[in-house]
A and B are shown apart, each in its own frame.
Chain A
Amino acid sequence: MPIEIPKQKWSGAVREAVIGATPEEGGTRKKKVIVGGQTTMPFLHFEGEVPHPPVIAIEIKDRKPDDWSPLLMEVWGDVADDPGAWAKKAEENGADLLLLTLSLTDADGNPNTPERAVEAVKKVLEASGLPLMVFGPGQADLDNELIVAVSDAAKGERLVLGICEEQNYRTITATAMANDHLVSSRTAMDVNLAKQLVILIHDMGMPLDRILIDPTTGALGYGIEYGYSVMERLRLAALQGDTMTQGPMLITPGEEAWRVKESKVGEGVPEAWGDWKERAINWEVTTATALIYSGADIVIMRHPESVARVHAVIQDLMTAVEPA
Chain B
Amino acid sequence: MALTGIQIYKLLPKTNCKECGFPTCLAFAMKLAAKQAELSACPYVSEEAKAKLEAASAPPIRLVTVSADGHEAKAGNEVVLYRHEKTFYNKPGLFLRVYDDMSADEIQAKAKPASEYVVEYVGIELDMAGTAIQARGGDFVAAVEAVRAVSDKPLILIADPDALDAALAKLQEIGIENDRPLICAADADNWQAMAELGKKYNVPVTVKADTLEGLADLTEKLKEAGLQDIVLDPGVRNLSDSLTMYTVLRRLAIKSLYRPLGFPIIAFPGDAEDEDKEYALATMAIAKYAGFVVLDRFTPARAYPLLVLRENIYTDPQKPIQVLPGLYEFHNPGPEDPVFVTTNFSITYFSVANEIDGSGMPAWLLIADAEGMSVLTAWAAGKFDADRIAKAVREFKVEEKVSRKRIVLPGLVAVLSGELEEELPGWEVKVGPREAVDLPSYMKNVLAAE
Contacts and interface: CB of A to CB of B under 8 A. Distances in A.
B299 A309 contact: no
A321 B302 contact: no
B258 A3 contact: yes
Interface string A210-223: 00000000001111
Contacts of B112: none
Contacts of A272: 117-120, 300, 304
Interface of B is mostly: helix
B16 interface: no
Contact of B308 (A188, A221, A318): A221
B243 A317 contact: yes
Which of B240, B284, B351 has the most chain A CB atoms closer than 10 A to its own CB?
Answer: B240
B347 A261 contact: no
Contacts of A3: 212-213, 216, 252, 258, 261
Which of B121, B244, B245, B317 has the most chain A CB atoms closer than 10 A to its own CB?
Answer: B244
Contacts of B374: 223
B306 interface: yes
B213 A293 contact: no
A323 B212 contact: yes
Given A224-B312, A275-B299, A233 B243 contact: no
B288 A293 contact: yes
Contact of A317 (B121, B212, B239, B347): B239
Contact of B248 (A6, A228, A274, A285): A6
A282 B279 contact: yes
Contacts of B221: none
A45 interface: yes
Contact of B305 (A5, A233, A286, A294): A286
B244 A46 contact: yes
B238 interface: yes
Interface string B258-278: 100100000000000000110
Interface in A264-303: 264-265, 268, 270-276, 278-279, 282-283, 285-286, 289-290, 293-294
Interface residues of A, number: 57
A323 to B, nearest CB: 5
Interface in B83-133: 83-84, 117-121
Interface string B116-155: 0111110000000000000000000000000000000000
Given A1-B216, A225-B315, A324-B211, A271 B244 contact: no
The 7 closest A-B pairs by CB, nearest first: A274-B301, A274-B300, A272-B119, A278-B301, A279-B301, A316-B239, A229-B84
A261 B436 CA distance: 9
B302 A282 contact: yes
Given A6-B251, A188-B380, 14 more contacts: A1-B213, A43-B240, A188-B377, A221-B121, A223-B374, A224-B312, A265-B437, A282-B301, A286-B309, A290-B283, A316-B280, A317-B243, A319-B240, A323-B244
A43 B213 contact: no
Contacts of A220: 305, 308-309, 312
Interface string B198-221: 000000000000111100100000
B304 A273 contact: yes
Interface in A235-272: 236, 261-262, 264-265, 268, 270-272
A290 B309 contact: yes
B54 interface: no
B301 A229 contact: no
Contacts of A320: 240
A59 interface: no
Nearest to B248: A323
Contacts of B313: 225, 228, 290
Contacts of B288: 293
